[in-house]
């Protein structure tokens, strides 16, 4: 009788265990690329990696990635590029036509670290050598950061198809500032660094401060607007917001990214207030 009860308890416990997700289901969703770690085995590999480490960081780190249910892949920095992802041999992730850094990208599923970050093992071909790298990705499943992937919050990324009013240009700037404020707030919790090049806004980031870059007709920021004249208007609006902004710098300690988030929210508020006044 005791053995029968024990068997029944084992069966009940097994039935109550959550069903393990397939690897495809685990990969689907929204991610941020945190960082790579090298796993070099030879001196030559180490020399090559040391010389090219910055390029590995710059090409993928802190990018937001979306793996769709239907096999579509997209990196948010390049919304117009629609790639594909699939699994080969059960644990080999393959991304094709994914844009810079992911055209193509092949890696093996390598489990999770102690913080629950996905590990992808890549053999990166550099200078005739295969450099073993482990990429760490964090899944974004809830909270404010989830809005970073929503189409409604990415409309500003699409180039204006016609000349816009000053009000529409101001709205586009506010959307951008709010978007990157959320991005920086997320980084302040999940990353020990940030990459200025990830930010399309023409801003310089200083220690406890933000400044405006010179107007550049060839910048990605300017490419969002209908023409150069409209981009100049947007640039001038940002300049005005910075001149009126009142930044509080005593609340975030050593977290520059948290401070930048507050600054960007402040700039957005200044633009919105200016719109109301006008």
Give Cα separations from 80 to 27, 158, 210, 268 (angstroms): 22, 8, 29, 26
36: in domain: yes
pLDDT at residue 11, as a whole number: 43
From 109, 139, 169, the end of a domain falls on: 139
Q: Are residues 65 and 164 in the same domain?
A: no
Contact (CB, 8 A) for 176 and 156: yes
Nearest-5° Cα angle at 32, 185 to 87:
165
CATH number of the structural domain spanning residue 51: 2.40.128.10
- φ/ψ (deg, to 5) at 210: -130, 140
Of 180, 184, 183, nearest to 156 by C-alpha is 180
Q: Is 264 exposed, middle or buried (0-12, 13-18, 19+ CB in 10 A)?
A: buried
Angle, CA 12 vertex, CA 11 and CA 14 arms, to 5°:
65
Length of the chain: 278
Q: Which residues have C-beta within 8 Å of that of residue 4, sequence separation ≥ 6?
A: none
Q: Are residues 190 and 253 in the same domain?
A: yes
**What is the number of structural domains in the chain?**
2
Residue of 162, 160, 161, 267 whose CA lies nearest to 221: 160
Same domain, residue pair 127 and 165: no
Same domain, 157 and 99: no
The per-residue pLDDT string of the chain (278 residues; one tens digit each, 9 = 90 and over) reads 554 444 444 444 444 433 478 999 999 999 999 999 998 888 998 999 899 888 888 999 999 999 999 999 999 988 888 999 999 988 999 999 999 999 999 999 999 999 999 999 999 998 888 999 999 999 999 999 999 999 999 999 999 999 999 999 999 999 999 999 999 999 999 999 999 989 999 999 998 889 999 999 999 999 999 999 999 999 999 999 999 998 876 555 668 899 999 999 999 999 998 765 55
* The pLDDT of residue 66: 97
Distances (CA, A) of 270 to 111, 157, 225: 46, 21, 21
Residues 174, 243, single domain; the answer is yes
Q: Do 159 and 262 belong to one domain?
A: yes
Q: Which residues contact 210 (CB under 8 A, 6 or more apart)?
A: 203, 204, 242, 247, 260, 263, 264, 267
């Amino acid at each position: 009788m005791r053995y029968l009860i024990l068997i029944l308890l084992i069966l009940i416990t097994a039935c109550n265990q959550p069903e393990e997700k397939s690897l495809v289901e685990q990969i689907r969703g929204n991610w941020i690329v945190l960082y790579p770690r090298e796993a070099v085995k030879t001196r030559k590999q180490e020399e090559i990696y040391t010389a090219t480490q910055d390029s590995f960081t710059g090409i993928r780190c802190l990018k937001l990635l979306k793996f769709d249910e239907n096999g579509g892949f997209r990196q948010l920095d390049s919304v117009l590029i629609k790639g594909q992802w699939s699994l080969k041999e059960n644990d080999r992730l393959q991304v094709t036509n994914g844009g810079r850094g992911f055209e193509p990208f092949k890696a093996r599923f390598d489990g999770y670290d102690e913080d629950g970050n996905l590990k992808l093992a890549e053999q990166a071909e550099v200078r005739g050598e295969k450099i073993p790298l482990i990429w760490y990705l964090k899944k974004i499943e809830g909270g404010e950061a989830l809005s970073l992937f929503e189409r409604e919050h990415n409309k500003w990324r699409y180039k204006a198809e016609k000349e816009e009013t000053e009000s529409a240009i101001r709205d586009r700037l506010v959307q951008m500032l709010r978007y990157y404020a959320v991005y920086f707030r997320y980084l302040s919790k999940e990353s020990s660094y940030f990459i200025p090049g990830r930010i399309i806004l023409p801003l310089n980031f200083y220690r406890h401060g933000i400044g405006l870059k010179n107007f550049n007709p060839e910048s990605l920021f300017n490419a969002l607007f209908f023409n150069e004249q409209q981009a100049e208007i947007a640039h001038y609006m940002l300049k005005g917001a910075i001149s009126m902004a009142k930044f509080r710098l005593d609340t975030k300690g050593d977290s520059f990214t948290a401070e930048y988030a507050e600054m960007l929210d402040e700039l957005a508020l200044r633009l919105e207030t200016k719109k109301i006044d006008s």
